[in-house]
A and B are shown apart, each in its own frame.
Chain A
């Protein structure tokens, strides 16, 4: 009975969180609903048996069913890894999360906290133009650029980007240095 109530409450809370706009809340909703699913898996093995399920550790009729426990372990790992990925998605852009304000977006604030003016998020990654403005580093093939021989790791930080400002976020490129003074 208590498991049934717990599953119901967790699911209700998860559904409420799914209805929210921000990604972080949706991720929290998924954390809750995977708990609900795990509890159901436990319940499927009948929780009345509480014995340790080792061979030779007592009466087999009292031992717990090991299979649902194995299921739950697997499901926890999978849900955890995907939650991590979703949390990453929540902070990779300066738009379309909980806030429409680029200034207050997680990506911008994180980059500013680190004083990392070379962070792509600092200049504003919008999902509309698909442009990523960075000044140096490696492209995704592993080649260093611009104009560096491949194999050289990126070394000294370059000057702030001189890219043309975005139409959607003109303030993004305008304040290239402010992060260091915060």
Chain B
């Protein structure tokens, strides 16, 4: 089994890509698309678990695609880090797709194909052992994302899509230039052959710096984070949750991988990473203070958490890398859970503005508990995974005696907690606004009626003019029941919240895996040997 496993790696890219194409061809049968997409994702998840177990002892699977000779072929390499990240990303994709099915977004003809092609690109980007191929797979990820953004953004419109496309295309072009410089200075783009090249040759180090800069734009570190905070809050919650766990995180993975191989963990540049991460943490958390909707607050927190995750690059010690990888996995789950639980409210009540919501604790106790678990985990309180992650990060920072960075991390944690409390008091506590029910009706009518229409919401009653009313609206209009968030909308968030609880209580297991992944990053020679020996 272990001998044939590497040869199966290209399937992770090929199968979702092909099935995505099949999904486009299936026009009328919505149910087939649903089954196709979920089935593929679950199969990928199974394969990812096999990969995690196979690499958990520190072994590295490598395969020369097309069986070309080493050096000519594009290698696919899976070590503990890529397997873990891939597994968590597939979990997020499944949760987001379930949510999108509940909101009816997934009924759109291209939704499932886009998600599958996106996942094909993700698998490729996480596995590839070649910088140019990384660029190609990042583009494969981006193209369906553009489609999803343009498709789902009723609020976003073309305006947000333009920012997103322009910034990402600019970053991609910069990445291309960086790759050209790497090829010109080092004579290869194969990561295994590039091992340590930047440590010996300042020219390669400069070229690598251009590559890392381009990837940092995609990872949205401060000062190049503005595009993210201006586009993510405007698309639909399902798409935000999906993107939050995928795009920036693949970029973060690439930063770790490239710094480990190309720079061989060079200590001369670590202070740059530490400065950037500290600023990122601070700016992200302070930016959230001025925001008024649940999702834009969460998006700003995403920026500050990206700072936490990248502390590991700035330390590049066993302890620091282990903590950072654990933090990365925990953060992806928790963030998506928060997006989905607040998104469930947004999709039902038609707004995410804190001022226009309130009293949800009485109305939606299940969501309140889900949100609370994920929010406390994000802020880093025990017994959730966030506590373990933050504690380990701060410990690792102190071990290297970077006291200032540790102080920033602690202060930002407190601010994070305050921000979560702001959402809590604004959305879940307090009095229910008078027009809550009415707003919800108007919104649901617009989204789930047969056509998008403008409903004249007068002061007393909303007048619903066109389109067949849904079961909820007629029941509410008859005064029989109140608007409630349907259970199918809450489930994906609950699922992810349970995982963060599991990560917190079962931290030993995940820490062990993260330690193996950190070991691989610290000793890139194993990677090189695996590629050359395959």
Contact = CB atoms under 8 A, between A and B. Distances in A.
Contacts of B27: 142
A26 to B, nearest CB: 6
B108 interface: yes
Given A68-B183, A82-B143, A146 B162 contact: no
Contact of A96 (B159, B176, B454): B159
B176 A140 contact: no
B157 interface: yes
Contacts of B159: 93, 96, 127
Contacts of B452: 130-133
Nearest to B467: A146
Contacts of B155: 130
Contacts of A82: 139, 142-143, 146, 165, 169
A134 B166 CA distance: 29
A123 interface: no
A33 interface: yes
A120 to B, nearest CB: 11
B173 A89 contact: no
Given A43-B180, A132-B452, A140 B161 contact: no
Nearest to B27: A142
Interface residues of A, number: 48
B180 A89 contact: no
A131 B158 contact: no
Contacts of B453: 131, 163
Contacts of B161: 89
A9 interface: no
Contacts of B136: 74, 78
A75 B138 CA distance: 12
Contact of A37 (B30, B156, B176, B450): B176
A181 interface: no
A182 to B, nearest CB: 24
Interface of B: 27-28, 30, 107-110, 132, 136, 139, 142-143, 146, 150-151, 154-159, 161-162, 165-166, 169-170, 172-173, 176-177, 179-181, 183-184, 189, 450-454, 456, 467
> Top 6 nearest A-B pairs by Cβ distance?
A127-B157, A44-B184, A130-B154, A140-B108, A141-B107, A40-B180
6 contacts: A78-B136, A79-B169, A93-B158, A126-B157, A127-B158, A130-B157
